[in-house]
Structure 1
C-alpha cells in the first residue's frame, strides 16, 4: 500500500483495464459503419486477441475484477474486454461476472449484455434484448431472438436499460433457423 492507501498493483490493473478497453473501442470506432474492410476487422481481431492473452490469466487466477478492486470504471472496462473475447471465454467468464453482480461488485447492466451475448453465441434466445444482427447492407439491424418478447422491457428496466420500441421487439428474429435462412438468402 502507498500513503494514499491504494494498492499499487490494483491501481496498475485498473489503469491497464481502462487503457485496453479504450484501445478496443478505438479499433471498433474505425470500422466503416456500412461495409467494414477486412483489414479493419483484422485490426479489431488483433486487439481482441491481445486483450484475451492478457485478461484470461487475470480472471483465472484472481477472479472477476470487480468494483472493490479496480473501481467502477475498471470493472466496466473488464466487461468490455469480456464482451469482445471469443465465445468460449465469454461463456467461462459469465458465471464469474454473475457472482460479482450478486455481490454488488459489478454492474447488472454489464451482466445483461454478456448474458445475452453468451445466449446468442449458443443459439439460445436472449433475455434483455441487447444483441442485434445487421445482415448485408440493411440500414438497421434486427434483434436476435428474444426469450420472452412481451417481458423484455421489464427485464431491461430491472438492470437499468432503456426500453426497446415495440417495433424493434416485433421485428426481432423469431428463431436462429430464421437467421440461418436469412444469411443464406432463403426463407425459413
Structure 2
C-alpha cells in the first residue's frame, strides 16, 4: 500500500538550506597607500622658507629686491624639483604627500614664473586630482586664473587682485556679472566676501 507523504516526510525530502558564506576575519577595504614622507618633508620645507621670505617681502610692499631675488631662486629650485617629482609620481596630492604638503605644491606652482606650458600641464593634473577627490577643487580655480592671466586673458574666478589707487581690486574678469556663479561651482565664497577678506589682511585700517 502506497503511503501518502506527510508534512514530516516532505520536510525530510526538502533540499538542505545553503550555509551562509564565511567571511574572513579582518576583511575590509583595501588599505590606503602610505604617504611618501620624503616628498612630504621636502614640500613642507620649501613652503616654510617661502612663507617666511614672502611675508617679509609683502611687509616691504614688494620693494625689497634682495628678498625678491631670494624668493625667485627658491621658487626656481622648487619647480625643478616638482618637475622631477611629477615625472616619477604624478601630481603630489593628498594620497601621496598628505593635505598640508599637497597645498604647498599648489602654492609653489601658483607663485612660479616657469613656462606657461608647464603650468598648464600642472593644471591638467590638478583637475584630474580634484575629480578623484585628491585635492580641493578650489585649487583648480586659482591655478586657472594664473594660467589665463599669463596668457593675456581675463581671469575666470576673480582670485587675483592688485592695488589700484590705493585699493585692492580684482584683475579684469571674464563675464564679471556671472563670476559668483562660477565661484560657487568651485566651492569659493562670493567675490565680495573674498575681497573683504583680502582687504582686512592687506589693507588694515
TM-score (norm 1): 0.76
Residues 119, 125 of structure 1: 8 Å contact kept: yes
* Partners of 1:15 and 1:164 in 2: CA distance: 34
* Partners of 1:87 and 1:108 in 2: CA distance: 23
- Alignment size in residue pairs: 161
- For the residue of structure 2 that corresponds to 1:134, the secondary structure is strand
Is residue 165 from structure 1 mapped to residue 192 from structure 2 by the alignment? Answer: yes
Shift of 1:35: 4.6
Shift of 1:162: 2.0
Q: Which structure has the greater CA radius of gyration? A: 2
TM-score (norm 2): 0.70
Is residue 51 from structure 1 mapped to residue 78 from structure 2 by the alignment? Answer: yes
Is residue 119 from structure 1 mapped to residue 148 from structure 2 by the alignment? Answer: yes
| Corresponding residue to 1:60 among 79, 84, 87 | 87
Task: Name the Cα RMSD after superposition.
Answer: 2.3
| Corresponding residue to 1:130 among 142, 159, 168 | 159
| Corresponding residue to 2:65 among 38, 48, 68 | 38
* Partners of 1:155 and 1:18 in 2: CA distance: 31
* Unpaired stretches in structure 2, ≥5 consecutive residues: 1-30, 196-205
* Partners of 1:122 and 1:38 in 2: CA distance: 25
Shift of 1:6: 8.9
- For the residue of structure 1 that corresponds to 2:109, the secondary structure is helix
* Partners of 2:177 and 2:51 in 1: CA distance: 32
